[in-house]
Structure 1
Amino acid sequence: MRSPVPGTAPTSQRKPWYRQLYLQVVAAIVVGALLGHFLPDVGTQLKPLGDAFIALVKMIIAPVIFITVATGIAGMKDMSRVGGVATKALVYFLAVSTLALIVGLAVANLVHPGTGLGIDPASLDAESVAQYAETAHEQTLAGFLLAIIPETLISALTSGSILQALLVAILVGSAISLTRPHSDLLLDTLVSAGEVVFKLVHMLMKLAPIGAFGAIAFTIGSFGIGTLAQLAGLVATFYLTSLLFVIVVMGAIAWAAGFSIFALIRYLREELLLVLGTSSSEAALPSLLEKLEIAGCRRNVVGLVVPTGYSFNLDGTNIYMTLAALFIAQALGIDLSIGEQLSLVLVAMVSSKGAAGVTGAGFVILAATLSVVPSVPVAGMALILGVDRFMSECRALTNFIGNAVATIVVAKWEKALDKDRLAAAMAGTPLPLPERDSERHERHSPELASQQDAP
């Protein structure tokens, strides 16, 4: 049986406070930040700790996605429901991510964080952002779609591409479903492999405090708290806008779906602290998949929505794009017309999808977005290069929460949400997942299987 929730224990056997993962991560972040501030040379040398932890987690992401999606789809009787889940998820992603772009645009026009800086365009360091502009120029929609197709079935699990692993998992899961009962042995093997993979995830999560410590020490040691003061207006505006988006917009969506956004944040506190410490939402992806299943979302919905959302549902990144674009224009004294601002939104809707999985995606997307407004030089991105690292934590946190909300909402739309399990998870008493042998018995029992597939 999988443990109830990574880092927690049953109420009757709750771990001592000093052994709880989220408190360990909090302590690691605080100590790392202090070390980076007072001993910056030492802090910068701790970067390998954060990099190593993220690399370990990325190592396991593809197998987790493959097993979760393949076994979820293989157990479905009606294959048309796979298309239904994907369609509803994409509709949700398009609506909410577009709203995030508009919110960023509206706040920039209301607050004017860059007005008054009076930056001379001739003083900008174009070389510092040249690599991002070049990468953005190379991104095309056709190239993005072709990159989803792996060279082989096996390479999809070794390339590091979430979308490649997702595509192969969907195909394999569908093939298993269409060839059952002959493929039941393969399905049982994948379920058993899943138990091993999720146990490995739990083992790796114990290293989270070390990874968070190294990553935050490097960030503070390299860029310094003083860097924040130079562009405090932009950073504060972005953080407050993202916070309001989570509380108001996502909160309203969560309320309509029957749960509290604050309860969800409390439920995912360990993962959110890990994302904060490492500036990477991928660091908590494997744990998110399991926790959402524990919270009552059916496995096939979790497996489809979460990985897809990591590429197509980037609410924090979208807020950042329009807010940063207008900040640069305001700082350079450039007045953008309504038409130019709408062009930014339209291009950002496409570029935010095409740059998925690209290193430094936030900056790459911003470069692609600015390229459609000739009056704003792409070199203007140099103004925010110094504080981009500090804003990346907020982008990752907002993206992470947005994908958790999206998964629960789509699961409810699909009638694939166990409300009792959701209520228990939101109340802080999550129920353990069923025994593996029970799952096999249900699959081999026509009566129980038909009940499981019923809406």
Structure 2
Amino acid sequence: MKKIGLAWQILIGLILGITVGAIFYGNPDLPTYLQPIGDIFLHLIKMIVIPIVISTIIVGVASVGDTKKLGKLGFKTILYFEIITTAAIVIGLFAANVFHPGSGIDMNHMQKTDISSYKGTASEVGSQGLAETFVHIVPSNVFESIVKGDMLPIIFFSVLFGLGITAIGEKGKPVLAFFEGTANAMFYVTNQVMKFAPLGVFALIGVTVSKFGLDSLVSLSKLAVLVYVSMAFFIIVVLGLVAKFVGVNIFHIIRLLKDELILAYSTSSSETVLPRIMEKMEKFGVPKPIVSFVVPTGYSFNLDGSTLYQAIAAVFIAQMYNIHLSIGTQITLVLVLMVTSKGIAGVPGVSFVVLLATLGSVGIPPEGLAIIAGIDRILDMARTVVNVVGNSLATVVIAKWEGQFKQNPDALKESKVKSA
């Protein structure tokens, strides 16, 4: 009997979770049984992400060797991220201004969700300026950053450590071998953890649907449809053109990552697929040093789906309150979102927190977020997929820019064999 591939297992888990959640909508007992299963899966993923990021960045930086080369790589990576993120925000603003998803909504009849749990984090973010964001990148205690899962300081430390290994020459080889072994061992652990993915997806989506039901999606269907269509447009047109420019087909990358995209969509977490993305993009033809640097950095600086969603949601709330946003105000919103989204990358519910922190700065009532909080998980699923595709393509772009990309035509075939 032919074994069911991981992508199909996750898809079956997703459908069963939605079905069970809809059947037991409003039942307080279902989350009690399912939430621990979903939490265990997320904990397993978080357990492996930090060791993989640290070990692969250190190995990648040490492989580059030359500080000047690394500086050029870093500059090109950040420049590309800023260009593509700005494009995402502009498309979000354009879509919201053209289709007016928030016009004509009666807020008195809308179900509101408690957003108080986000307010503490949002107030911290709101007080962060550009200078504070840069200060935050440098850890005062790297072990504290590791415990908190604070990605930017971890990346900063790992880059410096990798440069240190290179600088000490022969003495650094045993240390480098240790981190290479750590990376390989963690990739093996990842493959074992992924066997639990269908069950984790079933539990997580089941809890979400049982809490919010499908009714909340219907009442805000115009916003949901616009977000999904905008995300699809961004992947197919914007990222598709970028992919064509560097000589690859965006649909080939999507096919290569189909298992990871279904998992990222189901769990609303790009962390769940970080190790597998790095592995697959390396097999696709991107050199290990570039993959090791670009992917973790992209998880903090290249949140295309999140920023696109934030732009649409901000205008949506303004339209609900009949607030006119001038061109100048919308440009201000773009600049504020670009800074704040970098400052707190890695925080759970990052898009929601960023919006809470920034809406007030352009005169939009943050309380309006309580209306869309009920479907935030559904929207989060779409933006996570865009983040994953965007970061995967970024590795190809930077590798091509560096003249080091050699596409492996067998990567797609190998992916099919593994999924089968």
| Amino acid corresponding to residue 13 of structure 2 in structure 1 | A
What's the CA shift string for 1:309-347, capped at 9, x where partnerless? 111111111111111111111122222222222221121
Does the CA-based 8 Å contact 1:119-1:331 persist in structure 2? yes
Instruction: Tell me which residue corresponds to 2:288.
Output: 299
**1:75 matched to 2:63:** yes
Partners of 2:140 and 2:179 lie apart in 1 by 22
TM-superposed deviation, 1:128: 2.9
Instruction: Return the match for 1:259 from 239, 248, 252.
Output: 248
The worse-fitting range, judged by mean Cα deviation, of 328-337 and 135-144 is 135-144
CA RMSD of aligned residues (A): 2.2
Which letter maps to 2:384?
Answer: A
**CA distance in structure 1 between the partners assigned to 2:143 and 2:281 by the alignment:** 27
Aligned amino acid, residue 311 of structure 1? S
Shift of 1:133: 4.2
Q: Distance in 1 between matches of 2:321 and 2:313?
A: 12
Task: Tell me if the contact between 2:57 and 2:292 (Cα under 8 Å) persists in the aligned partners.
Answer: yes
AA in 2 matched with 1:399: N
1:135 counterpart = 2:117: no
Tell me if 1:416 matches 2:401: no
1:47 — aligned with what? 35
Choose from 394, 400, 406 the match for 2:388.
400
Corresponding residue for 2:275?
Answer: 286
Q: CA contact under 8 A between 1:370 and 1:377: conserved in structure 2?
A: yes
Which residue in the other structure is 2:87 paired with? 99
Within the candidate set 85, 93, 97, 2:73 is matched to 85
1:75 is paired with a residue of what secondary structure? helix
Structure 1 residue 37 corresponds to structure 2 residue 29: no
Query: Which of 350, 374, 387 is equivalent to 1:361?
Result: 350
Map 1:327-366; keep pairs closer than 5 Å: 327-366=316-355
One-letter code of the match for 2:328?
Answer: G
Identify, as 1 or 2, the structure richer in helix: 2
Shift of residue 120, structure 1, vs aligned partner: 6.3
Alignment of 1:53-202 (within 5 A): 53-119=41-107, 128-139=114-125, 140-141=128-129, 142-202=131-191
- Asked if the contact 1:119/1:333 (under 8 Å) is kept, the reply is no
Partner amino acid for 2:71?
G
Separation in 2, partners of 1:112, 1:228: 17
Matched, 1:388 2:379: no
- What SS does the aligned partner of 2:66 have? coil
2-structure distance, mates of 1:272, 1:51: 20
- What's the offset of the Cα at 1:43? 4.2
CA contact (8 A) 2:268 2:381 kept: yes
1:247 counterpart letter in structure 2:
I
Shift of 1:16: 3.1
Q: Which residue of the partner structure matches residue 428 of structure 1?
A: 413
Preserved contact between residue 62 and residue 161 of structure 1 (Cα < 8 Å): no
Cα 1:298/1:156, change in 2 over 3 Å: farther
The structure with the larger Rg is 1
Letter of the aligned partner of 1:101 in structure 2?
I
Which residue does the alignment assign to 1:26? Answer: 11
CA distance in structure 2 between the partners assigned to 1:394 and 1:67 by the alignment: 30
Q: CA separation in 2, counterparts of 1:228 and 1:73? A: 45
Q: How many residues matched?
A: 411
Give the structure 2 partner of residue 215 of structure 1: 204
**Kindly tell me: are residues 180 and 365 of structure 1, through their superposed partners in 2, closer, same or farther at Cα, counting changes over 3 Å?**
same
**Deviation at residue 155 of structure 1 after TM alignment:** 4.4
Unpaired segments ≥5 residues, structure 1: 1-14, 433-455
Alpha-carbon shift at residue 368 of structure 1 (Å) = 2.4
Aligned equivalent of 1:453: none
Aligned to 1:452: none
CA–CA distance in 1 between the matches of 2:325 and 2:175? 58
Aligned partner of residue 214 in structure 1, secondary structure:
helix
- Identity value in percent: 37
Q: Could you give the per-residue CA deviations for residues 233-280 of structure 1, whole angstroms, max 9, x where no partner exists?
A: 000110011011100000111111111111111110111111111111
State the AA in 2 paired with 1:137.
S
- CA–CA distance in structure 2, aligned partners of residues 406 and 210 of structure 1: 31
Match of 1:326?
Answer: 315
Q: 1:431–1:53: structure 2 CA closer, same or farther, 3 Å change rule?
A: closer
Mapped partners of 2:335, 2:178: distance in 1: 46
Q: Is the 8 A contact 1:294 1:431 kept in 2?
A: no
Offset at 1:431? 12
Q: What is the letter of the counterpart of residue 342 of structure 1?
A: I
Gaps of 5+ in 2: none
Relative to structure 1, the CA distance from residue 342 to residue 144 in structure 2 (aligned partners, 3 Å threshold; closer, same or farther) is closer
* C-alpha distance 120-222 of structure 1, shift in aligned 2 (>3 A): closer
Deviation at 1:164, TM superposition (A): 2.6
1:6 equivalent in structure 2: none
Q: CA deviation at 1:372?
A: 1.7
Match for residue 449 of structure 1?
none
Structure 1 residues 217 and 124: CA distance shift in structure 2, 3 A: closer
Question: CA offset at residue 130 of structure 1?
Answer: 4.1
SS at match of 1:372: helix
Q: In structure 2, what is the Cα distance between the partners aligned to 1:345 and 1:79?
A: 33
Any idea what the Cα deviations from partners look like across 1:8-62, whole Å, max 9, x if unmatched?
Answer: xxxxxxx9342x2111111111111111111233542312222211111111111
Cα pair distance change 1:231/1:171, threshold 3 Å: same
Give 3-state SS (helix, strand or coil) of 1:128's partner.
Answer: coil
Cα distance in 2 for partners of 1:430, 1:393 equals 23
Q: Are the counterparts in 2 of residues 124 and 380 from structure 1 also a CA contact under 8 Å?
A: no
